[in-house]
Amino acid sequence: MLIPQPYLLFLGDVTDPLAAKTARGIHVWRPEQCVGEIKLPGCTVSLGLDVLDIATAKERGAKTLVLGTANAGGYLPEHWLDTVKGAIKAGMNVASGLHHRLVDEPELVALAQEFGVELFDLRHMRPKLNVGSGKKRTGKRVLTVGTDCSVGKMYTSLALEAAMRERGMKADFRATGQTGILVAGEGIAIDAVIADFIAGAVEALSPANDADHWDIVEGQGSLFHPSYAGVSMGLIHGAQPHWLVMCHEMGRPHMRHLPHQPMVSLKDCVEANLRAADVTSDNVQLAGFAINTSNYSEEEARAYCAEVSAEFGVPATDPVRFGIADIAALLQERG
């Protein structure tokens, strides 16, 4: 494990629950790795964890302070530094998903060295990588892909990991984004690697494994998103997936942040992803759809999932509302 767990989750002084998305994700998927939360005066957000000070968190075993909220601009506010320094002095590592790097603060670097702890800047980690080779490797791999950004690829991947483990399958989530990396304790922030190494990074992230072992690789972006399709393409080739799970938001009118960019049809999107995956993976198949239906009634959601399932002949579900057992079952059965 790259980032020592368990964590103390720092919520800063944010008031917008959405700003605590990262902390919330960690707590939802790895509650046993969260010893508590710590916040500054004015913070109105809570994860429902014990509110701890540094000393108590340390006593309870916290190994890393996670800056689990994003502030506007991604900067590290001056008034957060005391908490960060306190954690370092108590012997905790610090992990940050901010654009502003911890290692750009000489004072923090010196302090971390003095107290023998590490600073993890998740957006800036640059492991030594090779370019992808496309060589066939053992083990089974599922990749979550999407019609767009922010359609639940991480949630779906983690839900699938849980559902597969519940069925006794050997399954590991492979993180490609910063929240995922904090959940897993390791991974590669794929959108931060040098363009030439996208596929190679994913090959490194999901190496050859036992024949009955499943990697669930967290997808990013969409082949149809004008900003990020390069990342998605390299991810598909590098993951060498046997199965794809297509993630989608019901009723989304256009590509995220781009009103001029029409939403792709599910059919075109599935076809394009299967064709792209076929370059490195023979016989890749669609395992199902994970659909965010949160803007619709349960009745509408069920009808839509049934319609998609009928059209493509695979399970279609909202993993938040209805779970993802059907897709896990399909993977177990068809291998």
* By the rule CB under 8 A, 188 interacts with its own copies: no
- Report, in Å, the least distance between residue 132 CB and its own copies: 4
* By the rule CB under 8 A, 191 interacts with its own copies: yes
Task: Specify the residue, 52 or 231, whose C-beta has the smaller distance to its own copies.
Answer: 231
Token pair listed for 135: 């060589």
DSSP 190: G
Count Cβ neighbours within 10 Å for each residue of 156-192 and write b for 16 or more, e otherwise: bbbbbbbbbeeeebebbbbbbbbbbbbbbbebbbbbb
Please choose, from the candidates 245, 236, 313, 316, the residue with its C-alpha nearest in 3D space to the C-alpha of residue 277. Answer: 236
Integer Cα distance of 302 and 298 in angstroms: 6
Exactly one of 25, 36, 68, 234 binds its own copies (CB under 8 A); that residue is: 234
Task: Specify the residue, 27 or 242, whose C-beta has the smaller distance to its own copies.
Answer: 242
Exactly one of 162, 233, 301, 331 binds its own copies (CB under 8 A); that residue is: 233
Exactly one of 28, 103, 109, 192 binds its own copies (CB under 8 A); that residue is: 192
* By the rule CB under 8 A, 279 interacts with its own copies: yes
Q: Which stretch binds its own copies (CB under 8 A): 44-52, 206-214, 220-228, 318-326?
A: 220-228
DSSP 73: G
Please choose, from the candidates 104, 62, 42, the residue with its C-alpha nearest in 3D space to the C-alpha of residue 96. Answer: 104
Task: Specify the residue, 108 or 286, whose C-beta has the smaller distance to its own copies.
Answer: 286
DSSP 41: T
Task: Specify the residue, 171 or 223, whose C-beta has the smaller distance to its own copies.
Answer: 223
* By the rule CB under 8 A, 7 interacts with its own copies: no
Q: Report CA-CA distances (Å) from 90 to 54, 83, 104.
A: 7, 10, 21
* By the rule CB under 8 A, 198 interacts with its own copies: yes
- Report, in Å, the least distance between residue 135 CB and its own copies: 6
Q: Report CA-CA distances (Å) from 150 to 72, 82, 110, 154, 177.
A: 19, 33, 37, 9, 12
Integer Cα distance of 292 and 178 in angstroms: 21
* By the rule CB under 8 A, 282 interacts with its own copies: no
* By the rule CB under 8 A, 94 interacts with its own copies: no
| Touching its own copies, residues 12-71 (CB under 8 A) | none
Establish how many alpha carbons lie within 13 A of residue 163's alpha carbon, considering only the half-sphere containing its beta carbon.
20
Task: Specify the residue, 168 or 259, whose C-beta has the smaller distance to its own copies.
Answer: 259
Exactly one of 81, 110, 194, 306 binds its own copies (CB under 8 A); that residue is: 194
Exactly one of 217, 276, 290, 291 binds its own copies (CB under 8 A); that residue is: 276
Establish how many alpha carbons lie within 13 A of residue 83's alpha carbon, considering only the half-sphere containing its beta carbon.
25
- Report, in Å, the least distance between residue 326 CB and its own copies: 30
Q: CB–CB of 261/208 below 8 Å?
A: no
Radius of gyration of the chain (CA): 20
Integer Cα distance of 23 and 8 in angstroms: 10
Task: Specify the residue, 94 or 284, whose C-beta has the smaller distance to its own copies.
Answer: 284
| Touching its own copies, residues 115-174 (CB under 8 A) | 131-136
* By the rule CB under 8 A, 190 interacts with its own copies: yes
Binding stretches for its own copies (CB under 8 A): 131-136, 190-196, 198-200, 223-224, 226-235, 237-238, 255, 258, 260-261, 264, 272, 275-276, 279-280
